[in-house]
């Protein structure tokens, strides 16, 4: 299909770009890191969601090259905005041979310290091949790359797999916040997840924050970091640099 053809041309920089969304400290609203998000460029892939592009690349095997392009591009941008960058890593890349070494090589090539990179993984990574996932995560964290569990609360969310892993934090899926104001339970569930995450020594990011009252409420629940349209939409590297320059 056409997405596959576009991916197949492999000159990723001609077809894709990354946008960067601020992740702010819940207490003072300051940007403390940014998430790199894949976007299409030009007309051939217009209107195709990043989720679909990623899933086509996963099926065709091109996710390896695409992830490495994403890592290099995000690390390049991080040199400019001088703020850690979080990159989404597909379970397929994660299971790729020598994945952690390959990723560390790219970090070293960028010249940035390990604290400049955050790796976001999804639950799928933690469910299959537990011992090699544990090794990979341990390897990244040992050199100082943070690892966050993304979209927590979707999927199976069996809590038992967390027993097997040491992680820096979790990102609570935006479905939780979308229920705020609809159900009284929503706030209690969020509070429990924040406490749960803290009790395991992890930080909590709430994603999908779309209004100021939500941001205030989450801050009161002890949530560490916030991400969402209210705090900043995904934007170009240049726009992000401008924003950072105006923050006190």
Residues at the interface with ligand G (CB under 6 A): 21, 37-38, 49-51, 54, 70, 88, 90, 150-151, 171, 174, 207-210, 228-229, 234
> Tokens 């929503």 appear where?
186
116 binds, among Na ion, Mn ion, ligand G, none (CB under 5 to 8 A by kind): none
CB of 70 to ligand G, least distance (A): 4
Task: Give the Cβ contact number of residue 70 at 10 Å.
Answer: 23
Distance, CA of 105 to CA of 182 (rounded, Å): 47
- Look at residue 38 and give the partner it binds from ligand G, Mn ion, Na ion, none, a contact being a CB closer than 5 to 8 Å depending on partner kind: ligand G
Provide the minimum distance between the beta carbon of 7 and Na ion in the complex, in angstroms, as a whole number: 22
Cα(146)–Cα(137) distance, rounded to whole angstroms? 9
Angle between helices 130-143 and 99-110 (to 10 degrees): 20
229 binds, among Mn ion, Na ion, ligand G, none (CB under 5 to 8 A by kind): ligand G
Burial tier of 94 (Cβ tally within 10 Å: 0-12, 13-18, 19+): buried
Sign of the dihedral defined by the CA atoms of residues 168, 207, 155, 181, in that order: positive
Residue 13 CB, shortest distance to ligand G, in Å, is 14
Q: Closest CB to ligand G belongs to which residue?
A: 228
6: contact with Na ion by CB under 5 A? no
- The CB-nearest residue to Na ion is 151
For every residue of 85-118, DSSP letters joined together read EEEE--HHHHHSTTHHHHHHHHHHHHT--GGGEE
Q: Which stretch binds Na ion (CB under 5 A): 7-15, 52-60, 126-134, 148-156?
A: 148-156
**Residue 224 sits in the site that holds Na ion (CB under 5 A):** no
Per CB under 5 A, the segment of 125-133, 147-155, 186-194, 209-217 that binds Na ion is 147-155
Q: Is 150 in the site for Na ion (CB under 5 A)?
A: yes
C-beta of 231: minimal distance to ligand G in Å?
8
123 binds Mn ion (CB under 5 A): no
From CA 210, how far away is CA 194, in angstroms rounded?
Answer: 19
Under 8 Å CB-to-CB from 38, ≥6 apart: which residues?
16, 18, 50, 53, 54, 66, 70, 88
> Which residue shows structure tokens 């990979």?
136
Q: Which is nearer to Na ion, 6 or 150 (CB)?
A: 150
Cβ proximity to ligand G: between 142 and 183 the closer is: 183
Pairing of strands 169-172, 146-152: parallel
* 142/155 with CB nearer ligand G: 155
Segment 201 to 240, residues that bind Mn ion, using CB under 5 A? none
Question: Which residues form the interface with Mn ion (CB under 5 A)?
Answer: 88, 120, 150
Q: Which residues bind Na ion (CB under 5 A)?
A: 150-151
């Amino acid at each position: 299909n056409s997405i596959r053809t576009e991916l197949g041309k492999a000159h990723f920089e001609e077809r894709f770009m990354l946008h960067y969304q601020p992740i702010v400290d819940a207490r003072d609203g300051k940007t403390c890191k940014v998430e790199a998000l894949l976007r299409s460029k030009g007309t051939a892939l217009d209107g195709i969601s990043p989720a679909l592009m990623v899933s086509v690349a996963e099926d065709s095997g091109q996710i390896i090259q695409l992830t490495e392009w994403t890592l290099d591009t995000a690390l390049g941008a991080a040199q400019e905005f001088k703020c850690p960058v979080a990159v989404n890593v597909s379970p397929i890349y994660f299971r790729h041979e020598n994945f952690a070494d390959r990723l560390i090589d790219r970090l070293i090539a960028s010249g940035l310290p390990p604290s400049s990179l955050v790796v976001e993984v999804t639950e799928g990574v933690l469910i299959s091949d537990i011992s090699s996932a544990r090794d990979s995560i341990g390897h990244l964290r040992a050199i100082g790359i943070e690892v966050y569990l993304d979209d927590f609360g979707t999927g199976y969310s069996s809590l038992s797999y967390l027993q097997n892993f040491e992680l820096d934090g979790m990102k609570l899926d935006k479905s939780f916040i979308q229920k705020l104001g609809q159900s009284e339970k929503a706030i209690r569930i969020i509070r429990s997840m924040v406490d749960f995450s803290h009790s395991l020594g992890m930080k909590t990011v709430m994603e999908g924050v779309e209004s100021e009252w939500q941001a205030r409420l989450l801050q009161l629940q002890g949530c560490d970091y916030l991400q969402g349209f209210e705090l900043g939409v995904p934007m170009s590297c240049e726009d992000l640099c401008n924003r950072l320059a105006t923050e006190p």
